[in-house]
Amino acid sequence: MQHRLDTASPQLVPQIVAIWHAGWHATHAALVPEELTRRRTPEEFLQRAKANLADTRVAVLGGDVMGFCMVRRDELYQMYVANLARGTGVAQTLIADAEGRMLENGHHTAWLDCAIGNDRAVRFYEKTGWQNKGRRTTQLDTSTGPFALEVLRFEKPLGLKIA
């Protein structure tokens, strides 16, 4: 059975939160300051998922969310895939969809932030044509206000026409 892409609905929020919370802690908790990890609670992910629902697409298999991607204007804001869906093409489908949505909205260059040390994500982004532009400090959203963190910035030109 093949996964399908869909617009996220309020009914899917609990599954999105479960994937996001588990995925974030598995990939980031050892890489970021302890204070940020303490802020990344299920409740915080729930609030952020609700706030970004309109900009979220999900990969669904049967009735189960296999992964999701959130886009904010020209930013690939969040993307996580459930453990059981890794290596199935879900991530490639989600990132291609996100890039297409950004292009449709008039953006010709996309960007994303990646945690320093998240080598699996770095390899994936580079494999899908994103370019590492180096380190920068960003202000992350948290329930208690912005949190400054040094990250890697990736960019990708969208919709290039070959002459």
Residue 1 has which token pair? 């059975």
**What per-residue confidence (pLDDT) applies to 84?**
86
3-state secondary structure of 12: helix
Angle, helices 42-51 vs 13-28, to 10°: value is 120
Q: What is the DSSP letter of 16?
A: H
**What per-residue confidence (pLDDT) applies to 160?**
67
Do residues 129 and 157 lie in contact, with contact meaning Cβ atoms separated by under 8 Å? no
Domains of the chain with CATH codes:
4-157 (3.40.630.30)
Give the mean model confidence (pLDDT) for residues 139-145: 90
What's the Cα-to-Cα distance from 69 to each of 91, 95, 136, rounded to whole Å? Answer: 9, 7, 22
Give the model's confidence band at 161: pLDDT under 50 very low, under 70 low, under 90 confident, else very high: low
**What per-residue confidence (pLDDT) applies to 18?**
97
Q: What is the DSSP letter of 63?
A: T
pLDDT beyond 70 at 128: yes
**What per-residue confidence (pLDDT) applies to 137?**
98
User: CA nearest 135: which of 150, 155, 120, 119?
Assistant: 150
pLDDT beyond 60 at 152: yes
Q: What is the DSSP letter of 123?
A: H
18: Cα separation from own chain's centroid: 14
Give the model's confidence band at 43: pLDDT under 50 very low, under 70 low, under 90 confident, else very high: very high
Q: What is the pLDDT of residues 44-99, one digit of tens each?
A: 999 999 999 999 999 999 889 999 999 999 999 999 999 888 888 899 999 999 99
**What per-residue confidence (pLDDT) applies to 111?**
98
Residue percentage of the chain with pLDDT more than 90: 86
What's the Cα-to-Cα distance from 64 to each of 60, 107, 138, rounded to whole Å? Answer: 5, 31, 33
Q: Please give the mean pLDDT across all residues of the chain.
A: 94
User: CA nearest 150: which of 114, 111, 112, 110?
Assistant: 114
User: CA nearest 26: which of 93, 139, 147, 121?
Assistant: 121
**What per-residue confidence (pLDDT) applies to 41?**
95
Dihedral sign, CA of 20, 84, 97, 153?
positive
**What per-residue confidence (pLDDT) applies to 141?**
87
